[in-house]
């Protein structure tokens, strides 16, 4: 097959050696050294789309979006296949990071996705209806998997209240990678992919608070979560929603909760007396409701105390709060 007058051929041994060595260096975080090798490989075989795909991938790892877009466009110009090439997905991520919406729309369409025209050719690719998914915040650090709503193939709005260690807030939009690392399976049966965060795309102005509740029953706890949601914000019982997982478990196919009755989740590494599904069990017993709950709240400073006071006022005999602290 001829491309721009050149005969397409298999890459040379030198190209393969330089590329293999570059990806070893990428795995070690040595991006500068890897970049020199991948640039050399592209000079050796400039007619290979793989040469530019690899450079685009490196620039994505470095969050150098201008270079990622440029290399990605060179890669797709040399493609000898139709829709579905991962080269287009990387172009879409780079374009989204740069808010280059015409290119982002073109990339998703070239990949084979339907992009509604609601936003116009120059607007964001809205209305793709990709549904819910999970995103792993800070994947290279103290990673945390939270739930979110996919805005398009590369962006997710965070709907859980992240722990303060993640440095993320409820309502933020994060740029995420295209290849899932793990799944979460709900009790109803559907599974949801877990994507890795690349970087923060749009910050949230809503702070995160932690508060200790005295909630006599689950219904009391649920009432606070509904009250916050009705106000347009969020509350989350971290005492039951947080599970401590090792990396292997987190990146596997996992149930989204612990299940029912005596069936403990074997992947849950939390302990009795600590946050997580196992934290409110006692040896040899089933579920044990503990009235003291550690709760995360996402709400403005001028509203959070009013929410808590209103929650207590609705049932003062069964509810109380203390130790409110802004944590993120």
Could you state, in chain order, the average pLDDT of each consecutive group of 10 residues for the chain (328 residues)?
49 93 94 96 94 97 97 94 84 97 94 79 80 90 89 96 94 94 77 92 97 96 97 95 57 49 44 43 57 97 97 97 96
Residue position matching structure tokens 């996919």: 150
Residue-wise DSSP of 242-253: -----HHHHTSE
Distances (CA, A) of 102 to 67, 75, 90, 117, 128: 18, 18, 15, 11, 15
229 with 316, same domain? Answer: yes
137 with 70, same domain? Answer: no
147 with 218, same domain? Answer: no
Residue 168 pLDDT: 94
213 with 236, same domain? Answer: yes
Is residue 271 a part of any domain in this protein?
no
Q: CA 7 from chain center: how many Å?
A: 42
Distance CA 205, CA 77 (A): 41
188 with 215, same domain? Answer: no
Residue 298 pLDDT: 98
Residue 214: strand pairing partners: 292, 320
Are 271 and 278 a contacting pair, CB within 8 Å? yes
Distances (CA, A) of 6 to 13, 15, 45, 213: 19, 17, 11, 70
Is residue 125 a part of any domain in this protein?
no
* H/E run at residue 137: strand 132-137
Total domains, the chain = 3
Residue ending a domain, choose from 200, 224, 241: 200
211 with 318, same domain? Answer: yes
Domain CATH number, residue 69: 1.25.40.10
Residue 120 pLDDT: 59
28 with 79, same domain? Answer: yes
Residue ending a domain, choose from 109, 139, 170: 109
Residue ending a domain, choose from 80, 109, 138: 109
Domain CATH number, residue 300: 3.30.70
Is residue 195 a part of any domain in this protein?
yes
Is residue 79 a part of any domain in this protein?
yes
Residue 64 lies in domain: 11-109
Predicted model pTM: 0.82
Distance CA 79, CA 51 (A): 11
What phi and psi values does residue 253 have, to the nearest 5 degrees?
Answer: -85, 110
Is residue 153 a part of any domain in this protein?
yes
70 with 152, same domain? Answer: no
Residue 138 pLDDT: 87
Where residue 57 falls (left for φ over 0; alpha for ψ -120 to 50; beta otherwise) is: alpha
188 with 82, same domain? Answer: no
Distance CA 295, CA 272 (A): 18
**What SS3 class is residue 201?**
strand
């Amino acid at each position: 097959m001829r491309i721009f007058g050149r005969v397409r051929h298999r890459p040379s041994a030198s190209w393969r050696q330089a590329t293999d060595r570059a990806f070893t260096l990428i795995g070690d975080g040595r991006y500068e050294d890897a970049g020199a090798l991948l640039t050399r490989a592209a000079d050796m075989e400039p007619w290979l789309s793989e040469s530019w795909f690899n450079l685009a991938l490196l620039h994505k790892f470095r969050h150098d979006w201008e270079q990622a877009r440029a290399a990605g466009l060179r890669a797709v110009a040399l493609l000898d296949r139709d829709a579905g090439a991962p080269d287009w997905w990387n172009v879409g991520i780079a374009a989204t990071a740069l808010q280059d919406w015409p290119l982002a729309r073109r990339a998703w369409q070239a990949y084979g996705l339907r992009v509604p025209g609601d936003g116009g050719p120059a607007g964001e690719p809205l209305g793709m209806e990709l549904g819910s998914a999970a995103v792993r915040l800070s994947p290279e650090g103290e990673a945390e998997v939270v739930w979110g709503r996919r805005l398009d193939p590369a962006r997710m709005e965070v709907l859980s209240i992240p722990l303060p260690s993640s440095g993320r807030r409820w309502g933020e939009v994060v740029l995420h990678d295209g290849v899932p690392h793990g799944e979460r399976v709900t009790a109803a049966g559907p599974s949801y992919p877990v994507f890795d965060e690349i970087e923060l795309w749009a910050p949230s102005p809503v702070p995160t608070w932690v508060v200790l509740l005295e909630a006599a029953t689950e219904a009391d706890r649920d009432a606070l979560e509904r009250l916050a949601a009705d106000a347009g914000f969020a509350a989350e019982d971290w005492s039951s929603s947080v599970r401590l997982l090792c990396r292997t478990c987190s990146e596997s196919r996992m149930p989204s909760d612990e299940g029912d009755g005596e069936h403990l989740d074997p992947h849950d590494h939390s302990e009795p007396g600590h946050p997580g599904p196992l934290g409110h069990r006692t040896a040899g017993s089933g579920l044990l409701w503990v009235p003291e709950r550690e709760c995360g709240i996402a709400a403005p400073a001028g509203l959070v105390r009013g929410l808590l006071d209103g929650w207590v006022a609705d049932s003062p005999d069964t509810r109380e709060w203390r130790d409110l602290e802004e944590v993120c």
